[in-house]
C-alpha cells in the first residue's frame, strides 16, 4: 500500500511517499481503508521532533481518520466490515496518512452520513478539543459569556458552534480572513484582533476565556482581567502556562485532547441533524502531504486540510 512516512525527524523533506506493508489488525483492533486523513499542526511537531510523543521510526503520521472497515481483529464487537467510521486514533502509533490504517475499535464511531466520508476526517481531534475545552474544563452553561481567542482556526470553528448551541453568548476574535466563517458559526460579537485591542473591545466580564491562539505570557495574563471572579481560563496552547487568578478564584486549565467515543458520537449526531458544520478548506492527494507540511511550517495553512489516499486496487480478497 502507499503511505507517507518519516524515517528520521526533521523538516518536511524527511517525509517519503512510499510503498509499505499493509497492516494487520490485532486483538481489539480493526483495519480501515482510509478515505481521508486530516492534517494537524501536531503532525508537524512530531515529524520535527518537537513534541514529546514517542513514536517508532519509520512513522506514518495522521491521528484523525475517516474510512471503511475492511478487516476486524479478535474480540471486536459492535463494528462490521463495510461500516464507515471516523476516529481520533493513538498519536504514537502508525497513523492514517496511508491507504490503510489499524486502529483500536474503541476509538471509532459511525461516520456522519450527511457529508463526504473523506471530509469527516476533519472532525475527530479538533471537535473533541473544542468540546472538552468548553464543557469538561470550562464547564460552560447556558446564559454564560465566553471569549474565544483565536476562533478563526479549525478548533475555533467548532468551539463557536458548540458554545452558541449550548446557549452561551459568544465573543470571538478573528482576522478579516476568517471573520466570515466565524460569523457563520454563530458568534455574537467578532473582534478583529488585527485592528482592535481585544482588551479594549471586551467591555463586560466573561465567564469563560478559551485561548486557541499563540499568545505571549504577558498578553495572556492581561486577558485574564476580563474574566469575572470565579470564572475559568482554558487554553490549548501548552507552550505558554495558562494563567488564573487565585485572589479572584479564577481557575486555569490546559487542555490535552483525549479519546472519547461517546462525545465523538454526539458530535456526529449533531452533524447529521444539521446542528454542526464541518469546514474543510482543502482536499489534496496523499502524495502531496509533504508539501502541506512545508506550507504549515511556513505559516501558509489556513483551515483544515484533508489528504485523500489513492483508490485501492483489489487484486485479491482482503483477510
**Is it the case that residue 15 has pLDDT exceeding 80?**
yes
185 pLDDT more than 60: yes
Q: Is the per-residue pLDDT at 158 higher than 90?
A: yes
Whether 319 has a pLDDT exceeding 60, the answer reads: no
How far is the C-alpha of 126 from the C-alpha of 281, rounded, in Å? 14
Q: Is the pLDDT of residue 189 over 60?
A: yes
Answer yes or no: is pLDDT of 316 > 50.
no
**Gyration radius from the chain CA atoms:** 20
Separation CA 177–CA 312 (nearest Å): 37
Tell me the per-residue pLDDT of 223-254, one tens digit each, with 9 for 90 and over: 999 999 999 999 998 889 999 999 999 999 99
SS3 (DSSP) at 65: strand
All three cell numbers of 51: 513534541
Whole-number average pLDDT of the chain = 95
| Residue 249 to residue 231: CA distance in whole angstroms | 7
Per cent of the chain over pLDDT 70 is 98
Lookup result for grid cell 480572513: 177
- pLDDT at 317 exceeding the cut of 50: no
Mean pLDDT value across residues 259-267:
97
Domain boundaries, the chain: 2-123+278-308, 126-254
pLDDT at residue 314, as a whole number: 66
Domain 2-123+278-308 and domain 126-254, same fold? Reply is: no
Average pLDDT over residues 147-167: 96
The percent of residues in the chain predicted with pLDDT above 90, rounded, is 91
Q: Is the pLDDT of residue 218 over 90?
A: yes
| CATH pick for 126-254 out of 3.90.78.10, 1.10.260.40, 3.40.50.720, 3.30.70.141 | 3.40.50.720
Cα–chain-centroid distance for residue 149? 16
- Contact predicate 266/257, CB 8 Å: no
- Taking 90 as the threshold, does the pLDDT of residue 57 lie above it? yes
Whether residue 147 contacts residue 189, with contact meaning beta carbons closer than 8 Å, is answered with no
CATH 1.10.10.10 fits 2-123+278-308, yes or no: no
Amino acid at each position: 500500500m502507499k503511505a507517507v512516512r518519516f524515517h528520521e525527524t526533521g523538516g518536511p523533506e524527511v517525509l517519503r511517499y512510499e510503498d509499505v506493508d499493509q497492516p494487520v489488525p490485532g486483538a481489539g483492533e480493526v483495519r480501515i481503508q482510509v478515505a481521508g486523513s486530516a492534517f494537524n499542526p501536531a503532525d508537524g511537531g512530531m515529524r520535527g521532533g518537537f513534541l514529546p510523543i514517542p513514536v517508532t521510526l519509520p512513522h506514518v503520521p495522521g491521528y484523525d481518520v475517516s474510512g471503511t472497515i475492511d478487516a476486524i481483529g479478535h474480540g471486536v464487537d459492535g463494528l462490521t466490515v463495510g461500516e464507515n467510521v471516523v476516529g481520533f486514533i493513538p498519536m504514537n502509533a502508525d497513523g492514517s496518512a496511508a491507504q490503510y490504517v489499524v486502529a483500536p475499535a474503541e476509538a471509532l464511531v459511525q461516520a456522519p452520513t450527511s457529508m463526504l466520508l473523506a471530509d469527516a476526517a476533519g472532525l475527530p481531534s479538533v471537535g473533541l478539543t473544542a468540546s472538552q475545552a468548553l464543557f469538561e474544563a470550562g464547564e460552560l452553561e447556558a446564559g454564560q459569556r465566553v471569549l474565544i481567542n483565536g476562533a478563526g482556526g479549525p478548533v475555533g470553528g467548532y468551539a463557536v458552534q458548540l458554545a452558541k448551541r449550548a446557549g452561551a453568548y459568544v465573543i470571538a476574535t478573528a482576522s478579516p480572513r476568517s471573520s466570515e466563517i466565524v460569523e457563520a458559526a454563530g458568534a455574537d460579537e467578532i473582534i478583529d484582533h488585527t485592528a482592535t485591542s481585544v482588551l479594549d473591545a471586551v467591555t463586560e466580564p466573561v465567564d469563560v476565556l478559551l485561548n486557541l491562539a499563540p499568545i505571549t505570557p504577558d498578553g495572556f495574563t492581561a486577558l485574564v482581567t476580563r474574566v469575572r471572579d470565579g470564572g475559568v481560563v482554558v487554553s490549548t496552547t501548552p507552550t505558554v502556562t495558562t494563567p488564573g487568578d487565585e485572589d479572584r478564584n479564577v481557575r486555569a486549565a490546559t487542555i490535552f485532547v483525549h479519546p472519547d467515543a461517546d462525545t465523538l458520537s454526539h458530535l456526529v449526531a449533531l452533524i447529521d441533524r444539521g446542528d454542526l458544520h464541518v469546514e474543510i478548506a482543502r482536499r489534496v492527494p496523499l502524495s502531496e502531504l509533504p508539501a502541506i507540511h512545508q506550507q504549515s511550517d511556513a505559516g501558509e495553512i489556513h483551515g483544515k486540510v484533508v489528504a485523500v489516499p489513492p483508490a485501492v486496487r483489489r487484486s485479491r480478497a482482503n483477510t
